[in-house]
Amino acid sequence: MDDSGLADLFAKGDEDGFAAVYTAFRGPVYGMAVTMLTDRGLAEEATQQAFISLWRGRGRYDPMRDLAPWVFGIARKAAIDVYRRERRGPAMSAVEVPEVPIEPLSTERLWEAWQVRRAVDDLPADEAAVVRLAHFYQLTHSEIATQLGLPVGTVKSRSHRAHRRLAAALGFLLDEPASASGATDD
Amino acid sequence: MTDDVLDERAAALENGPCGQDGAIARVSGLLSHPGMWDAPPDLPGGIAALIAKAETDSAPASPVAPQAPASPVAPQAPPDDRPADMRPPRGPSADRARPGATRRRRRQWATAAAVALVLIAGGIGGVLATRERPSATVQLAGGGALPQAHGTIQIIERDAGWRLVLNAQGLPSAPAGSYYQGWAVKDGQYVPLGTFHMHKEGKVELWSGVPLRQFRRIEITSQRVGEDDPGPPVLAGTL
């Protein structure tokens, strides 16, 4: 389902629409939180908080607005809240601790991470496995072939198809300088 | 976008950026980040439980700092405001006259001693904790047969080398005839960091005698007994 279909579904405000949004965005929300917080436990917490905020704020969502930047803004805020709390540490006294002015990663960088994660999530599973082994594990084509039990030629063709798909999905990122972004600061 | 441009960009993403193409470099960098690949854990109880939590936890968190726990020190007797000559005599006879007083005083001394011990232990612990503070923490993601596994490795510089504390989740006990091995990896070069079996859950201690900053990744591989080459990775993270 594309984002406009999701937006219409979510705007209804019922559980089915929320479940569809959760399925579509759980990866990018969690991935952005991992990118920002570099801790999976905190990222899980931020993800859950983001979707709780989404559910509570569903009445304020205007379906005429793009859904992805709206979800991104809420997810980013949830991750920043967790980050600030962790930076501040546990309360040791009733003395108010000044809020830490932070911006661990710029909105533009986080928006890029969000978009790349969405493109990765949209890859077919067999292509995603090859891209993952190539980039995350830094394996060569022949190492990937060994790992997956495939001929090297198959790995090469899958890898090419996958990267072409990524290049197409992320064309707008690759066209634009880093400062351009569809994300808004909420 | 023309097919030529698409092919060119796909090749740049696949083979790594050439020159100063910042956007390709940034996307390539992101593709090697755990945040692009880690799967979020399933919601306990599913969507319905999350919605229920959202509905029930609607009250904002209290901004008031949590109250300190009750003091372990025994309650003090109220101060005696009477003039000194009107106060009961102090000493053993007075304690005998008030049987609870000795026990109370002993309890106070015992409590004070316990508090002092805790403070001393805390001080020593603090020194040790400072000495044990990790210089870096590497996030590990699962791969191969264990895509859901994940964990962290804390790197602690010691006099004899680098102590690595692995905290892995979703890493099962190594089957009979196999074990796990840690490696520092760079450009096909593998330096062993130690072996373990995870027959019981817990943290694992590995050691490195080489500076890890010279390496690109840490991998945990599954090894067959008798095979020395690195096996398939089950956890990996970028240094």
| Cβ pairs bridging A and B (under 8 Å) | 146
Quick check: B51 pLDDT over 50? yes
> Comparing C-alpha atoms, which of A76, A60, A69 is closest to residue A184?
A69
Task: Tell me what the pLDDT averaged over chain A comes to.
Answer: 83
Which residues does A152 contact at the CB level (< 8 Å), separation at least 6? Answer: A141, A142, A145
Position B150 scores a pLDDT of: 85
Quick check: A158 pLDDT over 90? yes
Q: Is the ipTM of this complex over 0.95?
A: no
**Tally of CA atoms within 13 A in the half-sphere of B103 that contains its CB:** 4
Contact A164 B6 (CB under 8 A): yes
Q: B52 in contact with A at a CB cutoff of 8 Å?
A: no
The closest CB to that of B32, out of A33, A55, A136, belongs to A136
Q: B61 in contact with A at a CB cutoff of 8 Å?
A: no
Task: Give the integer Cα–Cα distance in Å for B213 and B232.
Answer: 23
Sheet holding B136-142, edge to edge: B189-196, B178-186, B217-224, B233-238, B136-142, B150-158, B161-169, B204-208
Which residues does B236 contact at the CB level (< 8 Å), separation at least 6? Answer: A136, A137, B140, B141, B143, B217, B218, B219, B220
More reliable by pLDDT, B95 or B115: B115
Q: A97 in contact with B at a CB cutoff of 8 Å?
A: no
Chain B residue with minimum CA distance to A146: B232
Q: A16 in contact with B at a CB cutoff of 8 Å?
A: no
Q: How confident is the model at residue A167 (pLDDT cuts 50, 70, 90)?
A: very high
Q: Residue B214 gets which letter from DSSP?
A: G
Task: Give the integer Cα–Cα distance in Å for A84 and A165.
Answer: 37
What is the residue whose two structure tokens read 């808004």?
Answer: A184
Degrees, nearest 5: CA angle B203-A85-A69? 105
Output the six-digit token pair for B104: 């109370």
Position B117 scores a pLDDT of: 60
Quick check: A2 pLDDT over 90? no
Which residues does B53 contact at the CB level (< 8 Å), separation at least 6? Answer: A48, A52
Quick check: B88 pLDDT over 80? no
More reliable by pLDDT, B123 or B136: B136
The closest CB to that of B37, out of A33, A132, A177, belongs to A132
Which residues does A123 contact at the CB level (< 8 Å), separation at least 6? Answer: A131, A162, A165, A166
Q: What is the pLDDT of residues A16-72, one digit of tens each?
A: 889 999 999 999 999 999 888 888 888 999 999 999 999 998 888 888 888 999 999
Chain B residue with minimum CA distance to A52: B54
Query: Whole-structure pTM over 0.95, yes or no?
Result: no
Output the six-digit token pair for A116: 């790349």
Q: A35 in contact with B at a CB cutoff of 8 Å?
A: yes
> Comparing C-alpha atoms, which of A90, A83, A82, A49 is closest to residue B66?
A90
Position B100 scores a pLDDT of: 52
Stretch A61-87: mean pLDDT: 89
Contact A171 B236 (CB under 8 A): no
The percentage of residues in chain B with a pLDDT greater than 90, rounded to a whole number, is 10
More reliable by pLDDT, B135 or A104: B135
Task: Give the integer Cα–Cα distance in Å for A109 and A180.
Answer: 10
For the purposes of burial, counting CB atoms within 10 Å of the CB of B187, is it exposed (0-12), middle (13-18) or buried (19 or more)? exposed
